[in-house]
Every structure is written in structure tokens, then in C-alpha cells.
Amino acid sequence: MAADEILLHIKDSYYFEVPKWLWKHDHQSHSDFPDVWVKLDPGFQSWQAHEVYHRLAEDGAVGLPSEADFIHDYEHWLHEPGNHGKPITRYLTHKVDESLTSGGEALVWAERGVEVAEEYTVADYKALPADHQHVKWAPTKIEGYNQALSGKILIPQVFGGELRNLYQKEAGFAISKFMVIEFFVAVIITAVFIAYARRVSQGQLPKGWFWNLIDVFITFLRKDVAKANIHHGADHFVPIIWTLFFFILGCNLFGLIPWMGSPTGSISVTVTLAVAVLFIGMAAGARTFGVVGVWLNLVPGMELPTVIAIIIKPMMFIIELLGLLIKHAVLGIRLLANMVAGHVVLLAIMGLAVQIQTAVGVPSAVAWPVVIVILLGSVLLSCLELFVAFLQAYVFALLTALFINSETHSH
């Protein structure tokens, strides 16, 4: 697995990466390329900037600089760190913010320009004739773009999400790679649970290695995780423990599949899971102690004189509340850190192999043993990651049970 492919396991995107020869692109003109790719092209951005300026000039915008100054300032801004590939709308928004920051009034022409720019879309650009000055894409550019896109399977944005680039969304509900993987994990879990439930309801014993394996995990989680750690009503929380364990395990294992990725390597996923555990625990506590009682239960019972209790108990409540939030935040960060760490180490090891090959060209007698050792190390580390995938799913389920017990148990 190449180093850049390992990096894709960590970073979410709006495409799936496969070998280039499996998914080649052979677009012939600017109108054939995906909208998100055209949007990042300097030709489109230049065309949009010129159209916006001409429209502002026609409207008689007050304070509008000359066209040469407008275009030059925009192009200069694009070359500043962090601005590469940003459209004219972002530049105009920057001008408005800059004028307000300096203590002046917002530039009216820049505010109007943001609205005007929305009218000049990629679809309009694609409709331009091939001989237009802004769409005369050289064959070398088209070939380079095809090479860059080859191997990238863009995810259709069926819900109307608008992408800023292949890694960031602009607006709307955009479907990312991790979302697709999570959906498939959920579908697999649902199918397995339904099939398992049917077998149990019909009194069938698990037969075959797969159903025996599932039965071992389910029984272990019920007996040694849920019932061993949740003292009251453990059976009510067993389905939650099962779901969290198998969902996290599925997401972790997908990270070991080439050209896939691990959703648990994204902080948005792990923190969301931790927040879900917090709400589940507090809701269970509210059911046991009442809506107010669940919060009062955070403070341990202490027999204190009234004067001292008025001071100590509010302080204890704040400390316990902070502790509650911190331990759930750590729950999500722990999972994230463990899943990312393995991929980062793999990236570093595989990077050594790439650097050696680059330094010596064709591997020599000296380079071959080093490369072999690095590859063997990567294989062994992948085996360790497989163990960590199971371990972290178990740790998350165990801590979930402990937290639920703490929030439903009287202190």
C-alpha cells in the first residue's frame, strides 16, 4: 500500500481512491469534467471574475476600481498562503471583512459582487463555445487533469450538496466517503442482527464458524460487559452496547481494507459517538431519578451543616459536571487517537520505503533488504492494527457500560 493511500485512510473525502488503471478518465474538453473540478480551474475563476466586474460596472457600483486593478488584486490574493483555488466570492467576502476590520464601512461593491457571482455558475461556463478565450484548455492541461482524476471515483451528491473541492463542502448535505462506509457498516450490522434474531427466536443453535463467532461476541458483551458493569436494568442497555461495539468494530476494520478508510479516524464520528453515550446515560438517569434528580445525583451524598453545604455542594456540582463532560470527551478522543496513530505510523514506515526507492532509483543490493524489512514491519503493524480494531471497540463498549452505570446509580 502506497504512502498516499495510507493517508486517505485518515482524511475524509468526497471520492473513493482506487488504482488509476481501474478507473481512468478520458475527458476531451472543459465541459466533460466534473463541476467541482471545473470550479477550481484558473480559467473558470478568471472568467467568473471578469463577468462579475463587468456586471458591477454596468450597475454603476460606487468605488469600484479599474478592471486591471480588480483582476490584479484578485490574482495577487490567490497567491497568498491558503488562498489557492478560492473563487471570486471568497475574495470579495475577504474585501468586505478587511474593510470592516480596519474600522471603515463595508465595501458596497464587494457585497454586491458576492451576490452577482452566484449568477455565473459552472453550468454557464461549460456552455461557452470551445473557442472562448477562457475555455481554450490546452491538450496538456486536459491530459494532466485526466491523470489527476484517474483512480478517483467521485461520490454522486444526490441530495444536492455543493462541494468546494474534493475534501470540503460548500453548502447543503454532501455525502462523503466516511458516510458511505458508515452506511454499509450499519446495513451489515442490521442484516446480521436480523438473521441472528431469527435463529434465536426459532430455537436454532449457532452452526458454522461465522454464527459461532457472532454468538461468542454477543454473549460476551451481554454477560461480561453489560451485566457485569451495569447494576440496574442491564438488559435494557445490552442492545446499545451491542450496536456500539459492532458499529465501531466495523468502522475500524474498514480502515484495514485497501482504498477504503476508517470513519473512526475522524473526530466528528468519535465525538458524536461519545455525545450519544452521554445522552443515553443522562436519559437513563432521568428515567431513574427524574429530570432534576439526575443532575442532583452528580453530587455525592454528604451530611454537611447547611452553611457549609451552601458553599461546598455548588462547587462539587460544577466539578462533577465538568468531570462528566471531560470523561465523555476523552471517550471520543481516545478512540480517535488510537485509530489515527496506527495509520500515521504506517505512513511513516511506508514513507521510508518510498524515500529509499527515490534516492537510489532502481533498488540496489543494499536497498532491497531495507525495503523488505520495512514491508515486513508494515505487515506486522497491520496485524497490530487488527488487534487494536477489536480492542478499541471493546474498550468503548466497556466504558459506555461504566458511564451508564454511574449515571443510573445513586452516589
What does the H/E/C string look like for 337-358? HHHHHHHHHHHHHHHHHHHHHH
Q: Across residues 120-142, what is the average pLDDT?
A: 85
The domain ranges of the chain are 25-138, 180-408
pTM reported for the whole predicted model: 0.83
Q: Which three cell numbers stand for residue 296?
A: 442532583
Asked if the model's pLDDT at residue 218 lies above 50, the reply is yes
Distance CA 127, CA 145 (A): 19
pLDDT of 312? 79
* CA distances (Å), origin 199, targets 188, 195, 220, 354, 407: 17, 6, 18, 50, 34
Asked if the model's pLDDT at residue 245 lies above 90, the reply is yes
CB 2 within 8 A of CB 110: no
Asked if the model's pLDDT at residue 311 lies above 90, the reply is no
Q: Following CA atoms 22, 23, 29, 30 in sequence, which dihedral angle do they give, to the nearest 10 degrees?
A: -150
Distance CA 73, CA 106 (A): 18
pLDDT of 397? 95
Residue 338's Cα: distance from chain center in Å? 16
Give the torsion sign (CA, 204, 208, 214, 217).
positive
- What DSSP designation does 222 have? I
Q: Which helix (H) or strand (E) holds 163?
A: strand 162-163
pLDDT of 3? 42
Mean pLDDT of the chain: 85
pLDDT tens for each residue of 7-22: 445 678 899 988 888 8
Would you place residue 101 in the very low, low, confident or very high pLDDT band (cuts 50, 70, 90)? confident
Q: Which three cell numbers stand for residue 144?
A: 494532466
Would you place residue 239 in the very low, low, confident or very high pLDDT band (cuts 50, 70, 90)? very high
pLDDT of 1? 42
Question: Which of 214 and 310 is assigned the larger pLDDT?
Answer: 214
Would you place residue 411 in the very low, low, confident or very high pLDDT band (cuts 50, 70, 90)? low
Flag the least confident range among 151-165, 185-199, 251-265, 336-350.
336-350
pLDDT of 144? 92
pLDDT of 152? 92
pLDDT of 63? 84
Is residue 171 helix, strand or coil? strand
**Which of 180, 280, 294, 210 lies closest to 239, judged by CA?**
280
CB 400 within 8 A of CB 378: no
pLDDT tens for each residue of 269-306: 999 999 999 999 999 988 888 888 888 878 776 676 76
pLDDT tens for each residue of 340-383: 877 777 777 766 666 666 665 555 555 667 667 777 777 787 78
Neighbouring CB atoms inside 10 A of 289's CB total: 17
Q: Are strands 162-163 and 15-17 parallel, antiparallel or unpaired?
A: unpaired
Distance CA 303, CA 320 (A): 18
Asked if the model's pLDDT at residue 401 lies above 90, the reply is yes
- What DSSP designation does 221 have? I
Q: Which helix (H) or strand (E) holds 365?
A: none
pLDDT of 190? 94
Is residue 336 helix, strand or coil? helix
**Which of 409, 28, 41 lies closest to 231, judged by CA?**
409
Distance CA 106, CA 96 (A): 5
pLDDT tens for each residue of 73-100: 999 998 888 888 888 898 999 888 888 8
Would you place residue 238 in the very low, low, confident or very high pLDDT band (cuts 50, 70, 90)? very high
Distance CA 15, CA 401 (A): 36
Question: Which of 367 and 28 is assigned the larger pLDDT?
Answer: 28
Please name the residues in contact with 184: beta carbons below 8 A apart, sequence gap of 6 or more: 254
Distance CA 334, CA 267 (A): 10
Question: Which of 344 and 247 is assigned the larger pLDDT?
Answer: 247
CB 244 within 8 A of CB 273: yes
Please name the residues in contact with 96: beta carbons below 8 A apart, sequence gap of 6 or more: 106, 107, 110, 111, 114
Distance CA 63, CA 50 (A): 17
Q: What is the DSSP string of 72-94?
A: HHHHHHHTSTT-TT--HHHHHHH
Question: Helices 209-220 and 234-254, interaxial angle, to 10°?
Answer: 130
Q: Across residues 336-341, what is the average pLDDT?
A: 84
